[in-house]
């Protein structure tokens, strides 16, 4: 009886430990980041000519970032058409539009920093997809290009 309990306990511990060591791979995160890029390119606002969406860096290269680990990076810029001459209102509106795009269409969980509401020169947007491990940062500025986006996978093993 005691041997069977030890065997069951060892089996459970091994299952838990092996489950913890497996996480997202670079391939899984890269696939999701590629989908994010495609979603940006087909977004109803960003695909319009006046948005001037530009993919600066495509997430198609493995970049070394740690011992035997790699990451992929997506960099993009886009323009938000300025409707109001007030820079603060323009920043507020551009920030809300990008937050909606990131949370609703790309499914990032955003963190909010209310202290930046009074900033007149820029806004920062941070988002995360815990699974498969992607972080996005967007700088919103009043001059062109309005949005400067960087999304990157975590440092992950290739397999």
Model pLDDT for residues 69-113, shown as the tens digit of each residue = 999 999 999 999 887 678 888 999 999 999 999 999 999 999 988
SS3 136: strand
Task: Flag whether 66 is in a domain.
Answer: yes
> To which residue do tokens 């670079």 refer?
26
Task: Flag whether 34 is in a domain.
Answer: yes
Task: Flag whether 65 is in a domain.
Answer: yes
Task: Flag whether 105 is in a domain.
Answer: yes
pLDDT at residue 145 greater than cutoff 90 = yes
Task: Flag whether 142 is in a domain.
Answer: yes
- The dihedral over CA atoms of 40, 101, 138, 55, expressed in degrees to the nearest 10, equals 10
**What is the chain's length?**
159
Mean pLDDT over 130-141 rounds to: 97
Q: Is the peptide bond before 132 cis (omega within 30 degrees of 0)?
A: yes
Q: pLDDT > 90: what percent of the chain?
A: 72
Task: Flag whether 21 is in a domain.
Answer: no
Task: Flag whether 13 is in a domain.
Answer: no
pTM given for the model: 0.83
Determine contact, residues 17/38, Cβ cutoff 8 Å. Answer: no
Task: Flag whether 12 is in a domain.
Answer: no
Q: Which domain holds residue 60?
A: 26-157
Chain-wide mean pLDDT for the chain?
87
Domains in the chain, number:
1
CA nearest neighbour of 154 among 128, 119, 116, 121: 128
């Amino acid at each position: 009886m005691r041997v069977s309990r030890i065997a069951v306990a060892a089996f459970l511990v091994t299952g838990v430990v092996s489950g913890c060591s497996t996480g997202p791979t670079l391939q899984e995160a890269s696939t999701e980041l590629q989908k994010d890029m495609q979603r940006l390119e087909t977004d109803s606002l960003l695909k319009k000519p006046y948005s001037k969406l530009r993919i600066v860096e495509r997430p198609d290269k493995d970049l070394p970032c740690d011992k035997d680990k790699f990451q992929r990076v997506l960099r993009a810029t886009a323009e938000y058409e300025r409707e109001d001459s007030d820079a603060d209102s323009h920043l507020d509106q551009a920030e809300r539009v990008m937050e909606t795009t990131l949370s609703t269409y790309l499914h990032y969980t955003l963190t909010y920093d209310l202290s930046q509401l009074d900033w007149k020169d820029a806004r920062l947007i941070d988002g995360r997809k815990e699974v498969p491990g992607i972080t996005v940062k967007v700088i919103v500025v009043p001059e062109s290009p309005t949005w400067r986006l960087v999304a990157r996978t975590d440092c992950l093993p290739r397999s």
